[in-house]
Chains A and B, each alone.
Chain A
Amino acid sequence: MLTRTHLAGWCFALMALVAPSAGFAQAAPGSAQQQAERAATQPGNNAPVWREVRSGQANYTTAQGREAGVLVQSSGDTWRQIRNGPITVYGGWLVVLVALAIAAFYLVRGPIKTHDRPTGNLIYRFSVVERWAHWTLAISFCLLAVTGLTILFGKHVLLPVIGYTLFAWLTLLGKNVHNFVGPIFMASIVVFFLIFVKDNWPSKGDLTWIASAGGLFTGKHVPSGRFNAGEKSWFWMGVVFLGIVSSVSGLVLLFPNFEQLRLTMQQAHVVHSVSGILFMTLSLGHIYVGTIGIEGSYQAMRTGYVDESWAKEHHELWYEDAKKQGANRPAAGGGAVPAGAAQARRDE
């Protein structure tokens, strides 16, 4: 096993990929002159020419096309080392291990239920627009995640199982889905940000919440506003930061017709896959608490309503506000509201 050498190689490779980002290294001025002199003193010794070739500088060619004049580009192999090495291996295991950790947590802790019995009083938590924005983002994210995972790991996971023909067909479909859903995802990030940013500004209780991890392990109650610090960090680090990073790097790869160089696309690919993997890893946590992890949270985004006791136990400060503004409705009253949405799940 060459792990150590590999690791050192990757570090070097990463530096090599980042270093020449300013563009092509310009051949030393006078390399042509050097060659002319060399040819006089040592005929047949073309070392200056080969140095120029290895510099990756574009030379003359009649062939049309981007970088057609570049005889040898070295960064491709660097990119290959990074992609097939750390990104595939560590990235893949990161996703698997986080998923396993969450599964283990679920087995040990089980779903978090409200301590008090549901009162049956429902409080309006998410408007229709908010829910549409969330689910557009969520569904497009899931499509991008699944297709992205197939492109990076499918060769090692899916291909040996389903064979070349089916896998290639699925991946081609996946690539097109990825390409066309990408812009929808980007647009929905913008909409989502505009809608939810006002409730995601950091507030007083956030540090306390983070210090005790929201009482996830202790079960201790930590009051929070409409969104707790966990949701806020998911909003800022996930949706906003990783969303923008993935979108920008994705655009570089999506439209190769803006004369961007191979180096640019290699760098964009590294950024895109790393941010994508981190995004997926974080999303696992969000999906967990939003579905089976905490009872009632899925219904909140599905129907827009939460039970009074759920609100009190998970978002106490928001609950107080909502109560003051009279946002709660009686359970039996609302036509569009499923009766007792927070406790009965027959509609799912």
Chain B
Amino acid sequence: MARMKFLCDAERCIECNGCVTACKNENEVPWGVNRRRVVTINDGVIGAEKSMSVACMHCSDAPCMAVCPVDCFYRTEDGVVLHDKDLCIGCGYCFYACPFGAPQFPQAGAFGMRGKMDKCTFCAGGPEADRSESEFKKYGRNRLAEGKLPACAEMCSTKALLGGDGDVIADIYRERVTRRGKGAEVWGWGTAYGPGKPGAQPPAAGGKS
């Protein structure tokens, strides 16, 4: 069974922000909300500059899910972490807990009052009828239900950002690293998916992390 994951290859990311644009366009996210962003480390230093595209990593042990006071999150069988905007109360706890800064809040009222949380859905929509108008308005496009993968990864020009079944992506990356000759240790999946301890396994029986 597929376990959906993202992987960003820091050796390849050229900080074109194409993934950010693709995400914004595909999901028509509101102003002020960035479901995905590119962060550049050692910006401008020759030989040391690395860029990373980051969004919701759909963690196996998701901190947002753990702290949500109304328990609005859920995980699909593909390991995608989604949330129900009808339940969300805009408290901001997921934003405190998330290591990646994925949860975003469109400002809904005066004094910085938060609206309903918005985050990357792995282009899997949310708890509305798949591919419906209401799902698109609330959560963006449901590409998984269209037999596609996230727009950001599929259109990445250097294929730095990979998204899809963890096993397939790992294979692609492994092949790449073999050709490159080195660098198996250079990417950081462990942060999101943890070492393979029993408690941190993805949910359904027979799943893979």
Is the pairing of A and B real? yes
Residues of A within 8 A of B93 (CB): 269
User: Is A281 an interface residue, CB under 8 A from the partner?
Assistant: no
Contact B71 A262 (CB under 8 A): no
Interface of B is mostly: loop
User: Is A248 an interface residue, CB under 8 A from the partner?
Assistant: no
User: Is B133 an interface residue, CB under 8 A from the partner?
Assistant: no
User: Is B14 an interface residue, CB under 8 A from the partner?
Assistant: no
Min C-beta distance of A8 to chain B, whole Å: 17
Shortest Cβ distance from A174 into B: residue: B89
Residues of B within 8 A of A335 (CB): none
Residues of A within 8 A of B67 (CB): 79-80, 83-84
Residues of B within 8 A of A255 (CB): 111-112
Task: Among A31, A32, A164, A269, point to the contact of B87 (Cβ < 8 A).
Answer: A164
Task: Among B11, B41, B69, B86, point to the contact of A44 (Cβ < 8 A).
Answer: B11
Contact B87 A266 (CB under 8 A): no
Residues of A within 8 A of B171 (CB): none
- B contact residues, total (Cβ < 8 Å): 58
Contact B92 A71 (CB under 8 A): no
Residues of A within 8 A of B185 (CB): 45
Residues of A within 8 A of B40 (CB): 59-61
Residues of A within 8 A of B45 (CB): 32-33, 35-36
Shortest Cβ distance from A268 into B: residue: B96
Contact B48 A77 (CB under 8 A): no
Contact A155 B71 (CB under 8 A): yes
Residues of A within 8 A of B38 (CB): 61-63
User: Is A21 an interface residue, CB under 8 A from the partner?
Assistant: no
Contact A52 B42 (CB under 8 A): yes
Contact B70 A164 (CB under 8 A): yes
Contact A151 B39 (CB under 8 A): no
Expressed in whole angstroms, the Cα–Cα distance for A76 and B72 within the complex equals 19
Contact A76 B69 (CB under 8 A): no
Expressed in whole angstroms, the Cα–Cα distance for A50 and B32 within the complex equals 28
Contact B99 A74 (CB under 8 A): yes
A residues near B, CB below 8 A? 31-36, 39-40, 42-46, 48-50, 52-53, 59-65, 67-74, 76-77, 79-80, 83-84, 150-152, 154-155, 159, 164-165, 167-168, 171-172, 175, 179, 254-258, 262, 265-266, 269
B residues near A, CB below 8 A? 10-11, 17, 20, 32, 34, 37-43, 45-48, 50, 52, 54, 63, 66-72, 84, 86-93, 95-101, 104, 107, 111-114, 180-183, 185-186, 188, 191
